[in-house]
Amino acid sequence: MRKRISLLQMAVFFFTAQVAWAGNIKTEKVTLVGNGIVEFIPVGYDVSRTPSLILSHEPEKKGGVPENWKLVPQFTMTDGKANASLDVPAGTSLYGGGEVTGPLLRNGQKIKMWNTDNGMYRVDGGSRLYQTHPWVLGVRPDGTAFGVLFDSFWKAELITNSDKIEFNTEGAPFRTYIIDRESPQAVLKGLAELTGTISMPPRWAIGYHQSRFSYVPEARVKEVANTFREKKIPCDVIWFDINYMDEFRVFTINNRDFPDPKRMNKYLHDNGFHSVYMIDPGVKVDDNYFVYKTGKEQNAFVCDIYRNEFHGKVWPGACAFPDFTRPETRTWWSGLYKDFMANGIDGIWNDMNEPSVFDGPGGTMPENNIHLGGGNLPIGSHLMYHNAYGRLMVEASYNGMMAANPSKRPFLLSRSNIIGGQRYAAMWTGDNEATYEQMKLSVPMSITLGLSGQPFNGPDIGGFAGNTTPDLWGNWLGFGAFFPFSRGHASCDTNNKEPWAFTKDIEKESRMALERRYRLLPYLYTAFHVAHKDGQPVMAPVFFADPKDESLRAEEQAFMLGTDLLIIPAFAKNPSLPKGIWENLSLVKGDTKGKYQAKLKVRGGSIIPVGKIIQNVNENSFDPLTLVVCPDEDGRAEGSLYWDKGDGWGFQKGDYKQLTFKAELVDGHHLIVKVTDDKGEDQIDFGMIKVEVLHAGHTYKSSGDIAKGITVKL
């Protein structure tokens, strides 16, 4: 039984929990908690009123702050609501804020942090979307950088003026962390030290994904899968939107369209596919429905201020919503995944978890609904917990997937989250629209998420809402094949958006784009491992190639993939590109002449590992492995390859292979490539390795045994 709370007690909690005074607040504690990371705690901060769901752990106190520390936030209260601000050094370029529309360069921008089901980004002009990232990255003119993390998930507004960063909340005082380091990459590593990194994904999850609202019945799913294989267009994942359910009841599968889901998922597995199924938080109110029945028995659902179970309309009709602030609720929710995933399901998609409520105020729950909390989470209003709802849901989902299949790495995608939630789920940029404007917008949106601690992200390629033209699809997939999360998705009321659904020419361009992605899987998987270890973005801004070059700071058409590949979409006009050696890269015959293909350029001084064209990650990429070498002005280059089984946890115990390659020019005409470092216990037989040297617009080739060194004559 729940402990009863009187209306008087609730009124006291909601309306006098915060002291109604205004003005500046002194900083109570200033502590060094890492290399170049300082924690600022204002007077009045109470962890029981502002718990952290952002930090991965409580930071370790390391002593006093350096005497020359200059970045000090100011704390204020306005009508009992806590705020913080930071003066910005002159000439600083500002980035971050997570999932945002608008420009990559965030100077002079304002966003609302109130997770919202914002289809086509039309609510408030896109100033509030599905996720909350109270984080700003600042890059000074000299390339050094700092970051500010506001440790609060209350409803808030983030203002990034060129002279001041402001974070104004509707909640209690909160801690603020400032990271000051030698480069933006080092600052993001510091952010990862505070908030954690992505879990290493299964390799199939970085292949191409195909989705629609919805693929039904079973015959249609098989038709889509078979067409990919017949047309030799690479793909790894087929997605199942809500129509697979029994009248939209979560954790059910309708036996009309899918009479034997185990058989269907086995068919997908046998043909090199994995499956991802949607699970929403709205639970249909039906006493004969096992999810609602068991949830109601243990008081798992959110209540209104009068202690009645809150009901709101979503896809199934009247729904109850799990109160994920309760540890017992999260345990119950986690337990629902075991039998569900036993159908052969590989991944999970948590959608509608802002939470979206069709008939609720502002499309969500009333702000005075009650979350009972538990553990380290206090009782609180929905005003307090709204932005954290999706974050708590994905934690419970992730734990349920782990318990259901402990030997497999979970792949979980979420629409709603907060910074720190990358530890549990990848994300996509929500229900976008099939327009050229939103196609172009998808680049800075995904870059910004990578700069905000979430490297595993991407948009709905082709646009979710509205019909997609052949030209728009060709343009979008031509560079969309290089998003960290690469998925085509379409609404039920739009035209078909599979790679072959347009014209023969578009089908050919689509195949080419995806073949390029699959050839780059060794390089891409290595970049994901770096993201997992150090929090670096997989998709990064061009200025990461040279943080001191201020001419690159606003570039939002071209982008970096990892540290050594430059991607220039076909739509890009006069992009600002980094100086130095950048050689053109061809991965598939004819790709440099394809109308829609992005231009790929390799950084001088780098070595990129690429594989052969494969149709899915179950096939062997290394037959052969090719090392693409682009020497710098001194004739030197370096690169690495990380590889493991692609699933499971053996890599945590040394079952992986990590190689460092170096190349050096000798006698002015011969480049020697060899392995200089070999880590891990996995035994991978690379066999003969090919080397392609890109130099002064020409390609020089050789092959051999890398253990002995491979010589290429220039």
Catalytic residues: 351, 354, 431
Q: Are strands 131-132 and 417-418 parallel, antiparallel or unpaired?
A: parallel
- Measured at the alpha carbon of residue 279, what is the angle toward residues 275 and 285, in degrees to the nearest 5? 145
Q: Give dist(CA 179, CA 170) in Å, integer.
A: 25
Taking the alpha carbons of 589, 590, 592, 597 in that order, is the dihedral positive or negative? negative
Q: Give dist(CA 529, CA 526) in Å, integer.
A: 5
Buried b (16+ CB within 10 A) or exposed e, 563-580: bbbbbbbbbbeebbbbee
Q: Which long-range contacts (CB under 8 A, 24 or more apart) does 375-383 make?
A: 375/327, 376/47, 376/51, 377/51, 377/325, 378/48, 378/49, 378/51, 379/5, 379/13, 380/325, 381/14, 382/302, 383/154, 383/155, 383/170, 383/171
Asked if 55 and 421 count as a contact pair (C-beta separation under 8 A), the reply is no
The owner of tokens 């343009």 is 475
What is the maximum alpha-carbon separation in the chain?
86
Asked if 280 and 353 count as a contact pair (C-beta separation under 8 A), the reply is yes
Q: Give dist(CA 65, CA 73) in Å, integer.
A: 14
Phi then psi dihedrals of residue 455, to 5 deg: -75, -20
**Residue 270 DSSP SS3:** helix
Closest CA to 248 of 351, 334, 328, 114: 351
Closest CA to 216 of 244, 237, 252: 244
Asked if 357 and 420 count as a contact pair (C-beta separation under 8 A), the reply is no
Element containing residue 664 per DSSP (H, E): strand 656-666
